[in-house]
């Protein structure tokens, strides 16, 4: 009886203290069973009775299962309880849309992935040192017994992925009462240092690795964009240099053609310009016209008309081009 009274007292305190700072911001508390078999209203055998469930999504704690132990339970007994939690987390049922989903999701709102991992909800073990069990032996033994439930898959970047694993975090009731959830008094199984609660149930190393990967992707994208722009500039410069190498030079004065004069003489080739001196630059061409007009006033037009007439075949007298086809 004293053991149960102490457990209930510790449980009530554990319910009141964790995330106390978030209580005024909408902290929700839930309790009840986690049925590994049966239904919510009629749970079958093999499930666990959750001590307390906390939800504070606005503080990055979407869902947290809390179990309190007064060091009356052995490591094997606590491990068995965690196994029941794992069976419940793995259990799937059909949702209202006919799709199978984890049984706990329709009841509690939580993101599909926490810190990039498709993990199960975390379980916080709060130890109240009252009983006779030795914590220096219980926790290491519990860690080994439940290794398959929490161990992550190590990645190249040094972080771990915890898909399909339970973040199991331990703390002492005394430390919790003194430092609260923001103090570095929480030890996640598989790690060797104390952390605040949010970091302990999360995956800071993966978040940092994902941030570095995003930065690397953005940097590579920017480098590729700069490379494409540089290649485009180099190609444009090459084409410009090739065109400059082909720029005509005036046969009379030796000056390079301006772009306007070059375009005008280029159109001669296509028969779309009346330019008759494509080898002269614009200045020389204008001087030629002035000198011609001064030497032979009025001869310019007749000269051009004669050149144009030579381009048209002479028609037969008394007929037209079409007359020959009418015969």
For the chain, give the mean pLDDT. 76
Q: Are residues 8 and 143 in the same domain?
A: yes
User: Are residue 172 and residue 253 in the same domain, yes or no?
Assistant: no
Most confident of 19-33, 67-81, 225-239, 279-293: 225-239
308 and 173 within one domain: no
Higher pLDDT, 268 or 108: 108
Based on the domain organization, do 201 and 287 belong to the same domain?
no
Is residue 321 in a domain? no
Within a domain: 326: no
Do 125 and 271 fall into the same domain?
Answer: no
163 within domain boundaries: yes
DSSP state string for 177-220? HHH-TTSS-BEETT-SS-B-HHHHHS-HHHHHHHHHHHHHHHHH
Please tell me the predicted confidence (pLDDT) of residue 210: 84
Q: What is the mean pLDDT of residues 313-325?
A: 45
Indicate if the pLDDT at residue 6 is higher than 60: no
Q: Which helix (H) or strand (E) holds 231?
A: helix 204-245
Report pLDDT digits (tens) over 168-180: 999 998 898 888 8
- CA-nearest of 289, 287, 267 to 278 is 267
Distance CA 289, CA 280 (A): 11
Give dist(CA 327, CA 325) in Å, integer.
6
Residue 181 and residue 89 share a domain: yes
Of 185, 206, 227, the domain-final residue: 206
Higher pLDDT, 7 or 174: 174
Residue 317: pLDDT over 50:
no
> Residue 138 domain-assigned?
yes
Average pLDDT of the residues in 78-95: 88
Domain match, 91 and 185 both: yes
Q: How confident is the model at residue 35 (pLDDT cuts 50, 70, 90)?
A: low
Whether residues 135 and 258 share a domain: the answer is: no
Are both 142 and 285 inside the same structural domain?
Answer: no
**Which pLDDT belongs to residue 42?**
60
Same domain, 173 and 247: no
Co-location of 272 and 193 in the same domain: no
pLDDT digits (tens, 9 = 90+) for 233-247: 999 999 999 988 888
Same domain, 12 and 108: yes
- The separation between the first and the last C-alpha atoms of the chain, rounded to the nearest angstrom, is 132
Domain assignment of residue 119, yes or no: yes
- Residue at 7 is within a domain: yes
Residue-number span of the structural domain to which 284 is assigned: 239-312
Provide the number of structural domains found in the chain.
2
In the numeric block, which tokens belong to residue 95?
Answer: 């949702």
Residue carrying structure tokens 């869902």: 63
Nearest CA to 169 out of 204, 153, 193, 148 is that of 193
Q: Does residue 220 sit within a domain?
A: no
Beta-sheet strands, E only, within the chain: 28-34, 48-56, 61-69, 92-94, 100-102, 123-127, 153-154, 160-161, 168-172, 187-188
Helix-, strand-, coil-residue percentages of the chain, each rounded to 5: 45, 15, 35
Angle at 307 between CA 304 and CA 311, to 5 degrees: 135
Please report whether residue 195 resides in a domain: yes
CA distance 108 to 62: 9
């Amino acid at each position: 009886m004293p053991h149960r009274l102490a457990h209930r007292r510790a449980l009530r305190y554990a319910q009141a203290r964790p995330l106390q700072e978030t209580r005024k911001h909408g902290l929700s508390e839930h309790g009840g069973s986690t049925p590994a078999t049966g239904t919510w209203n009629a749970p079958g055998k093999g499930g666990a009775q959750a001590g307390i469930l906390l939800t504070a999504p606005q503080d990055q704690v979407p869902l947290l299962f809390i179990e309190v132990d007064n060091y009356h339970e052995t490591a094997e007994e606590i491990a068995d309880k965690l196994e029941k939690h794992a069976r419940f987390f793995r259990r799937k049922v059909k949702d209202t849309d006919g799709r199978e989903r984890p049984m706990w999701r329709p009841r509690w709102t939580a993101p599909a992935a926490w810190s990039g991992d498709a993990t199960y909800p975390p379980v916080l073990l709060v130890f109240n040192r009252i009983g006779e069990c030795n914590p220096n032996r219980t926790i290491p033994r519990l860690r080994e017994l439940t290794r398959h439930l929490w161990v992550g898959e190590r990645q190249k970047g040094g972080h771990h992925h915890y898909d399909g694993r339970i973040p199991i975090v331990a703390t002492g009731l005394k430390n919790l009462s003194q430092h609260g959830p923001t103090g570095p008094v929480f030890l996640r199984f598989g790690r060797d240092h104390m952390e605040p609660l949010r970091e302990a149930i999360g995956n800071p190393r993966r978040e940092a690795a994902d941030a570095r990967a995003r930065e690397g992707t953005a940097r590579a994208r920017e480098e590729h964009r700069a490379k494409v722009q540089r290649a485009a500039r180099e190609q444009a410069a090459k084409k410009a240099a090739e065109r400059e190498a082909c720029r005509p030079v005036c046969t009379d004065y030796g000056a390079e053609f301006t772009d306007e004069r070059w375009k005008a003489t280029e159109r001669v080739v296509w028969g779309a310009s009346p330019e008759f001196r494509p080898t002269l630059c614009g200045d020389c061409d204008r001087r030629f016209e002035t000198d011609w007009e001064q030497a032979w006033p009025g001869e310019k037009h007749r000269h051009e008309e004669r050149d144009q007439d030579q381009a048209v075949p002479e028609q037969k007298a008394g007929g037209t081009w079409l007359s020959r086809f009418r015969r």
